[in-house]
Amino acid sequence: MKKLLALLMALVFAFPMYAMAEYPSKPITIIVPSKAGGSTDTTARIFINAAKKYWNGANFVVQNIPGSGGQKGFEAIARAKNDGHTIGLVFTTQIVSHIVSKRARYTLDSFHVMGNAVDDPLLIAVPKESPITDLAGFIKAAKENALTVAVNGIGSDDFIAAKKFENKADVSFNLLPTKGSTEQKALILGNHADASIMNLSQMQAQHKAGTARVIALLNKERSDVLPDVKTAAEQGYDVNMTATRGFVAPAGIDKDILAKLDDLLAKVNSDPNFIADCKKNVYSRLPMSGEDYRAYLEGLQVETQSFYDKNPW
């Protein structure tokens, strides 16, 4: 009996080491809480291009789960099997805004935060046919007739930026929630919305090509990508907003597997090809460790809660 118990105990303690030796034993699914072709989706794909270099033979599969400003995808990550074969991208402010509005079926504790990769400041864009050329014209038009402004879902960074503008300028927009930047871009290029609040990477090329017009950057400084575009603050409205994009895993994964995942993200964040791909896609790199990104998200949740309490949606 003692020998049998000893054998069983040996097997129990050996299993985690065996599991680690076999990890990953199947493709790694990366859940992207937005449509294919958008900036978050692209972030996942350039991550994969670099990650394959460090995990020889590993396969990665993108699973797009758009809807509700990222909420559906975030919830899918939180409830995924915690064996290390599913991770996901999260973006701000959506990941915390759904928590403060009590819509989310997750909390920050539902995730292991691996770290952040990039950030992407917001801008305001209008169709090329629009008579609006600056923020003064935008606010004037909004006061005369409520403008239809496309945003990436309720509680998104776009949505909250629009709400902040409403407060600053004493106007009211007809906010049009979408499933992501692909839809927002189509609305502006097709002249089906008066404006869209979205990310720099998502509309800079159209501004340069003259197929849309960016009238303000919601950043503290102008961008080298669009140096001709003034910041909102330069035009009298001190509204800043950026979107971070980071990686998380479901809570409860074996700590040794988590260490491998965290190490992989750290390697990718420093990878020359990943850095080049970020530049090509106009993403500002903002590498953060899991600990630092978790602290950032916690601080953002407090800030967003304060804003929500005064401006519920």
Q: Look up the CATH number of the domain holding residue 64.
A: 3.40.190.150
**Residue 17 covered by a domain:** no
The pLDDT, as a whole number, for residue 14 is: 47
Is the N-terminal amide bond of 29 cis, ω within 30° of 0?
A: no
Average pLDDT in the 49-56 region? 97
Q: 107-155 pLDDT, tens per residue?
A: 999 999 999 999 999 999 999 999 999 999 999 999 999 999 999 888 8
Terminus-to-terminus CA distance in the chain, angstroms? 64
**What percentage of the chain carries pLDDT values higher than 90?**
86
**Residues 6+ positions from 129 with CB-CB distance below 8 Å:** 191
Domain shared by 33 and 85, yes or no: yes
Same domain, 249 and 269: yes
Rg (CA), the chain: 22
Confirm whether 203 is domain-assigned. yes
Whether 66 and 215 map to the same domain: the answer is no
Q: Please, are residues 201 and 282 in contact by the beta-carbon 8 Å criterion? A: yes
Mean pLDDT of 183-195: 98
Q: Are 73 and 66 in contact (CB under 8 A)?
A: yes
pTM across the whole model? 0.85
Judge whether 107 lies within some domain: yes
Q: Considering the domain boundaries, does residue 128 fall inside one? A: yes
What's the confidence (pLDDT) of residue 18? 44
Same domain, 151 and 228: yes
Supply the CATH number for residue 149's domain.
3.40.190.10
Q: What is the pLDDT of residue 180?
A: 83
| Residue where a domain stops, chosen among 211, 235, 259 | 235
- 139: containing domain: 121-235
What is the tally of structural domains in the chain?
A: 2
**pLDDT for res 7:** 52
Q: Which of 214, 235, 256 is the last residue of a domain?
A: 235
- When pLDDT is cut at 50, 70 and 90, the band that residue 8 belongs to is low
In a domain, 275, yes or no: yes
Show which of 187, 219, 235 is a domain's final residue: 235
Does 100 share its domain with 37? yes
Pair (62, 135) in one structural domain:
no
What mean pLDDT is predicted for residues 249-275?
99
- Upper half-sphere CA count for residue 255 (Cβ side, 13 Å): 0
Q: Does the pLDDT value for residue 9 go beyond 70?
A: no
Strands 111-127 and 242-250: antiparallel
How sure is the predictor about 284, in pLDDT bands with cuts at 50, 70 and 90? very high
CA distance 277 to 282: 8
Same domain for 106 and 128: no
pLDDT recorded at residue 4: 53
> Do 44 and 98 lie in a common domain?
yes
